[in-house]
Chain A
Amino acid sequence: MKLAGKISVLAALIGALGLTAPVAQAAWEPTKTVEFVVPAGTGGGADQMARLIDGIIKKNNLMKQPLVVVNKGGGAGAEGFLDVKNAKGDPHKIIITLSNLFTTPMATGVPFNWKDLTPVEMMALDQFVLWVNADKPYKTAKEYVDAVRAAGPNKFKMGGTGSKQEDQIITVAIEKQAKIKMTYIPFKGGGDVAVQLVGDHIDSSVNNPIEAVAQWRGGKLRPLCVFDKTRMPYKAKVTETMSWNDIPPCKDSGLNVEYLMLRGIFMPAGVTAEQTKYYVDLLEKVRATPEWKDYLEKGALNTTTMKGEEYRTWVAKEETRHQQLMREAGFLAGGK
């Protein structure tokens, strides 16, 4: 009873502060539970990042109101995006996005667009690496591409996550660049793809670093190149002989394909600048924690971050790029 008494006194104090605070500085804060939507299933990259953010916020008491992570991954994420689109003006909802922000509406015709959301902050960009089974003789991307070409069309199998999404976009881009043809086989998750590659059921993958790193360290997979302009900055040894930094960019092997995936936070449309600012500040605090930095290194993520107008411009440019990539690959809904 004593404890309860203390809590009620405390509550009264907080209440009193709450009453006077708006007069003092009027900064917006959530007044109820905030829903953190993940437009993907449990266990994937976006889900992991959302739950890490949730964990960091809880551990460091960065938010007064609770945050709840909700998975709405149906229809390649359309379920989650529509949910946030329909929550126009609701400042108690945020969503983490991946490339399906662009690819899902384009491939399925489901009516939503990033303009139905308010960009908050880009947390990081995820890399893509070309992987092959370590028992195979290919040491460079060029050797691999030559082998695919020599075998003839559709003889080599590229595995990837989902259909008409980032992995297949990259596959099509490789095919166009190198003038080769592979059979693309879609799987549910990146971990499945990595294991299918270890088991030699497919010939290559474009897994994100975190999806394949365990098998790389176990000596089962070999990275050939990274689909970025430059090498990854992480120089700590991951295997006995190699670091992420030792993987060359694909364009050095004559495979001029670049692709990075957005890991960013959005809010529904129609929220105030003040409300957006609250989440920007919150996420800045998250990014300053050692846990977050550790996660970036483990997943070899590209540490680019953006917010505000810069982020908005980047998203708009990225949409145009995806429009073009999807059109070239013939992935647009209704064959447009």
Chain B
Amino acid sequence: MDEINSLMHGFAVALTPFNLMLMMIGVVLGVIIGVLPGLGGANGVAILLPLTFSMSPTSGIIMLSCIYWGALFGGAITSILFNIPGEPWSVATTFDGFPLAQKGRAGAALTAAFTSSFFGALVAVLLITFLSPMVARFALKFGGPEFFAVYLLTFCAFIGMSKGNPMKTLAAMMLGFAFAAVGMDGVSGTLRMTFGTEVLIKGFDFLIAVIGLFGIGEILQTLEEGLEFKGIQAKIDKRVVLDTWKELPKYWVTSLRSAAVGCFMGIVPGGATPASFMSYGIAQRMSKNGSKFGSDDDPQIEGVVAPETAAHAAGTSALLPMMTLGVPGSPTAAVLLGALLIWGLQPGPLLFVEQKDFVWGLIASMYLGNIAGLIVVLTCVPFFAAILRIPFSIIAPVVLVICAIGAYTVHNSLFDVYMMVLFGVIGYVFKKLDYPLAPLVLAIVLGDRAEESFRQAMLASQGDMRILFSNGLVGGLTSVALLLLFWPLLALGLKKLRGGGKGKPATSGA
């Protein structure tokens, strides 16, 4: 086994005391970056990039990639504790994670999130170790139509999740598309819906919308319910990690499926955010407890496992197309790519041949960095969970300030802070009127990308829709997407055909 030998060589490269120290520093910094909404992995890595120029490329990439792993872990913390996604890929984690914390099970939710993240990363690293040349070739098959089919699949996998009025889901999603369309239209190169203002030119940033919709919206709602001077009765149990681990093997199907979804999306490269949404949507349909996903009364650990596994698997496997093709699978990978070029390394087909030390050192550090990350975050679980015992009246202003700093950091723009407040009000109104937030967020994050790839496909085919079925890959993806979209109707039809008209068929959320 050539790969095993190379990997052992990689461990030898990565396992120097200096590199191990960098790894720990990287992971801790990454967790902090992940916790602060708005700062984000990409910005964090970019800020710290110049520091690594005096190191060897191998040490440099080990530290930077560990910041990335840390950020992937850290994103889950604020999502679960405060309903504020620290990173875009943690949005789906809030759906069940936050209600779990509200029920006093923050420790369990955090442990599940971290462990799933680790599992997702492990699957992705194994894939990178043993299958990278094959996988790289697969990614080349993706052009405009294929990308659109992937986004379509994400939307369709997710669309059935709302338990409420389908018209409300549709309305929320359309509003999201409208927000996503503001600013520069990348295909025609002109501005749209900026109404002649300068502030709207950059469009609505997904992070600002999410911080407002979730974080501020949540605070507004809690305020309305009356100021609580007591914290949540979160039992701080040092055994919470072990107890949760006992429960996790139950969800092995969900874990494996989510890891597969994540790896696929990372390699394509669709990114960690759509991966987490898609995985959540599919888990909800497939799980027998699917109807309880995201409910306030009985939130599911499985609903944390699915998005976290997929996000971390996608985030890790996103480094593969970066190394073999020079295409970043995520914004953070884009910055790492820039780092490679500055160090004088050329990502691309020859990197694995010419820079064995570097590549296998990096792959070995993926194993080690994720183990280090898991240890760091798991030991902190009781501490994180204890934060919730602080009364809301004390923690709310702190959360507000963190939100505001986060929104400001995205573009260094004060206008974004006002936008965040506005989105907070929208989030509050949505909750009051019982409109779902998830489709809105999904449309904001994927709307412009889906539009772009659709228009690329249409340009290539000169407006012929048949391009979406022009080969096995894109045709298969489109078909699966349509199948998922119409599944509730099909299931209903099948039931009728079989003549079993007993009881009311469960269409919504199935």
Q: Which residue numbers of A lie inside 8 Å of B, CB to CB?
A: 41-43, 47-48, 51-52, 54-56, 58-59, 68-72, 74-76, 78-79, 82, 107-110, 154, 157, 162-165, 168, 183-189, 191-192, 194-196, 198-199, 201-202, 210, 213-215, 217-220, 291, 294-295, 298-299, 331, 333
Of B143, B331, B350, B462, which is within 8 A of A214 by CB? B350
Q: Is the CB of A215 within 8 A of B201?
A: no
Query: Which of these, A69, A195, A299, contacts B326 with CB under 8 Å?
Result: A195
Min C-beta distance of B201 to chain A, whole Å: 4
The verdict on B376 contacting chain A, using a C-beta distance below 8 Å, is no
Docked Cα-Cα span, A98 to B327, in Å, equals 21
Per-residue contact bits, chain B 137-157, to A (CB 8 Å; 1 contact, 0 not): 001111110000000000000
From 29 to 66 in chain B, residues with beta carbon under 8 angstroms from any chain A beta carbon are 42-43, 46-47, 49-51, 53-54
Stretch of B237-245, B247-255, B332-340, B437-445 with 4 or more beta carbons under 8 angstroms from chain A? B332-340
A71 contact set on B, CB distance < 8 A: 46
Q: Which B residues are CB-close (under 8 A) to A191?
A: 325-328, 337
Known contacts: A51-B50, A154-B462. The answer to whether A194 contacts B326 by CB under 8 A is yes
Contact A186 B186 (CB under 8 A): yes
**A42 to B191, Cβ gap below 8 A?**
no
Choose, from B20-28, B308-316, B452-460, the stretch at the interface.
Answer: B452-460
Max chain A Cβ within 10 angstroms of own Cβ: one of B184, B188, B452, B462: B184
- Closest beta carbon of chain A to B462's beta carbon, Å: 7
Closest to B200 in A: A75
List 20 extra interface pairs beyond A42-B334, A68-B47, A217-B350, CB under 8 A. A42-B42, A42-B43, A43-B334, A58-B50, A69-B46, A72-B412, A74-B411, A75-B183, A75-B202, A157-B459, A162-B186, A163-B189, A168-B189, A183-B460, A184-B459, A185-B456, A186-B187, A192-B327, A195-B139, A218-B349
Q: Is the CB of A74 within 8 A of B142?
A: no
Task: Determine how close the nearest CB of chain A comes to the CB of B67; give it in whole angstroms.
Answer: 14
How far apart are the CA atoms of A162 and B341 in the complex, in Å?
A: 22
Complex: chain B residue closest to A199, CB-CB: B140
Judge whether A55 and B144 touch: CB under 8 Å. Answer: no
User: Do the beta carbons of B198 and A82 come within 8 Å of each other?
Assistant: yes
B397 at the interface (CB under 8 A from A): no
A201: nearest chain-B partner, CB-CB: B143
Could you list which residues of chain B lie within 8 angstroms of chain A, going by C-beta atoms? 42-43, 46-47, 49-51, 53-54, 139-144, 183-191, 194, 198, 201-203, 321, 325-328, 331, 334-335, 337-339, 341-342, 344, 346-351, 411-412, 452, 456, 459-460, 462
**Given A79-B201, A183-B459, is A199 in contact with B346 using a C-beta cutoff of 8 Å?**
no
Q: What B residues does A51 contact at CB under 8 A?
A: 46, 49-50, 338-339, 342
A52 vs B325: C-alpha distance in the bound complex, in angstroms?
22
Cα distance A43–B411 in the bound complex, in angstroms: 16
Looking at the complex, which one of A43, A79, A186 makes contact with B337 (CB distance below 8 Å)? A43
- Assess the B346–A82 pair: CB atoms within 8 A: no
How far does the alpha carbon of A68 sit from the alpha carbon of B350 in the complex, in Å? 33
Knowing A110-B191, A163-B189, A214-B326, say if A75 contacts B344 (CB, 8 Å): no
- Is B191 in contact with A295, judged by CB distance below 8 angstroms? no
Whether the Cβ atoms of B203 and A74 lie closer than 8 Å is: yes
B57 CB to closest chain A CB, in angstroms? 13
